[in-house]
Structure 1
Amino acid sequence: MKPTKRDLRQSRILATLADAPMLRVKALASALEVTTETIRRDLEELAERGLIARTYGGAMLRAPSEPVLSKRERQLVPEREAIARAAQPRLKRARTLMIGSGATTAILARRIAFEMTGLTVIAHSFAVATALAQNPTIRVLMVPGEYHPEEGAMHGGAAVRFLQGYSADWTILGASALSPDGPSDALIEAGDVYATMLRQGARNMIVADHTKFDRMASARYAGWSEIDLLVSDHAPEGPLARALDRGEVEMLVAPPRQV
């Protein structure tokens, strides 16, 4: 079947957003030489298909579905290791940590186990807890709750209630996506857990590689004003960089390992 003008236009919208991840309706209408009403209809249809996320006055690509944790752990390993090397020294004065699930946080947990002693860590991820168990001086409190097998982590009301009884010097979380509105996760179940961890942390850190920039996922768990530090392998640009500035988020770029 020959593609319609609408099909071709919507394909061009997706291609344009891939190059410029956040665009306004007027800019898209001008680029495609159609009315703003036509663009708004196209964006609504693309949003209903789960391909984009609508923003105020525009659109942004939606983060692709994340593979299971065991597969993510084999991806972007040098970038995640660089992030862990840069992030760990910021924690050296901490005595209590809360750490969320994810491939990057698991690598950071291994570095914490190697570099630090005498900590208490509150974790809902078995990968994080297992990494920390290599160091017998680190006490791990495992969060109870409903087990999510693909993520290897505990979620749900029991997890949230448990976390509310503790506080931490630092909360460290990963993210599926980072947009100007804040960090978000592909798992809706993780949103409440992460938001609770952030409320219990004296300082809050996000560790996420550059592939998460300028994307939105299902569960936004914080605004940038709630985050103290973002550690990544590249510095963001454009609307995301400006949002970090407005939120007074410190940006730490992880240098690559010198050969």
Structure 2
Amino acid sequence: MYQEERLFAILQHMQAHQRISVEEICELFQVSRDTARRDIVKLEEQGKILRTRGGAIWPSLNKDISGYRDRLKAESDVKRNIGRLAASLIHSGDYLFMDASTTVLHAAEQLRTDGHVVVTNSIDIAGLLSPKQGSTVHLLGGVVHPYHRFISGARTLEMLRDYQADKLILGTSGLTPDGLTNPFEEEGYVMKEMIRRADQVIVLADHTKFGLRQFYRVAGLDCIDIVITDRPPAEPMSEALRRHNIEILIAEGENER
């Protein structure tokens, strides 16, 4: 096995187990301790892992921040399925908060009900829903972040404090037993205020979001009512969700139904 192949396999193992020891690398790939140590050093130089005494751990803080357009393409079929299930929970006449997540955009595309009042900080969701008959869209004011397609700032929070909604459809960049996280503190403030002002909080999170911890903690699991995902999360995430009495809904593809 070439080193690049081995490094990829080590990362796959660490994604599943969060850590690896020198001894495990030796056993898994039949290499010497010196080779195992060189692999760990190489992965640390690439910024992929954190070296520890006797091995390495998976970094708990995820710093990969893709642009909105790239995130919209990633796992698009999965996000579309999650969005479809989220839209099925919305009833005509519901007042809604929608954040600027790409998965929430898919939920907005799948809405087949009407009579909604929608409050959002998403440029794209406002553009998508505002032409539709029978609903009203409030686009929050503030500072536009064009690369990530959201609006935030003091004015955004000031406007939000005047609203109340039946349901919040919320995306997340990371979901751990400690709660919801986001890479952007200013966007996190908006999400936190939406959570405070919604009667029901529905979080949309595909399987890649479980276990990811971003820079800013938005809220604990006690603030969530429903999580919609595409795969049952592994322990200890499942146990944490059950402990907080959070309903877990699994979205299936159209060809799976």
Please give the per-residue CA displacement for 1:220-251, whole angstroms capped at 9, x wherever unaligned.
11111100000011110111111111111110
**Residue of structure 2 in register with 1:198 after alignment:** 195
Could you tell me whether the CA contact under 8 Å between 1:79 and 1:233 is conserved in 2? yes
Task: Name the TM-score, length of structure 1 as normaliser.
Answer: 0.78
Matches within 5 A, 1:77-96: 77-92=76-91, 95-96=94-95
Larger Rg: 2
Give the letter aligned to residue 139 of structure 1. Answer: T
How many residue pairs match? The answer is 225
Give the gaps of 5 or more residues in structure 1: 1-10, 33-45, 53-57
Q: How far off is 1:12 after superposition?
A: 11
Please give the per-residue CA displacement for 1:67-116, whole angstroms capped at 9, x wherever unaligned.
1111211221110111011111211155200000021111111112xx01
Aligned-residue sequence identity (percent) comes to 25
Q: How far apart, CA to CA, are the structure 1 residues paired with 2:142 and 2:48?
A: 29
**Residue of structure 2 in register with 1:131 after alignment:** 128
Please give the per-residue CA displacement for 1:173-202, whole angstroms capped at 9, x wherever unaligned.
101111111111122221100000000000
Give RMSD over aligned pairs: 2.7
**Residue of structure 1 in register with 2:153 after alignment:** 156
Could you tell me whether the CA contact under 8 Å between 2:92 and 2:115 is conserved in 1? no
Give 4+ residue runs of structure 1 displaced > 4 Å after superposition.
Answer: 11-16, 27-32, 49-52
| Distance 1:255-1:12 versus aligned 2 partners, 3 A rule | closer
Greater shift, 157-166 or 128-137, is seen at 128-137
1:229 counterpart = 2:203:
no
| Distance 1:154-1:256 versus aligned 2 partners, 3 A rule | same
| Distance 1:180-1:28 versus aligned 2 partners, 3 A rule | farther
Q: How far apart, CA to CA, are the structure 2 residues paired with 1:30 and 1:243?
A: 31
Could you tell me whether the CA contact under 8 Å between 1:191 and 1:220 is conserved in 2? yes
| Distance 1:247-1:30 versus aligned 2 partners, 3 A rule | farther
Q: Among 152, 159, 174, which residue is 2:171 paired with?
A: 174
Give the letter aligned to residue 76 of structure 1. Answer: E
Q: How far off is 1:136 after superposition?
A: 2.1
1:258 counterpart = 2:255:
yes
Q: How far off is 1:60 after superposition?
A: 5.4
**Residue of structure 2 in register with 1:68 after alignment:** 67
Q: How far apart, CA to CA, are the structure 1 residues paired with 2:21 and 2:124?
A: 43
Give secondary structure in 2 for the equivalent of 1:238.
coil
Q: How far apart, CA to CA, are the structure 2 residues paired with 1:140 and 1:204?
A: 19
Task: Name the TM-score, length of structure 2 as normaliser.
Answer: 0.79
Q: How far apart, CA to CA, are the structure 1 residues paired with 2:121 and 2:223?
A: 21
Please give the per-residue CA displacement for 1:135-162, whole angstroms capped at 9, x wherever unaligned.
1211000101111111111111111111
Give the letter aligned to residue 122 of structure 2. Answer: S
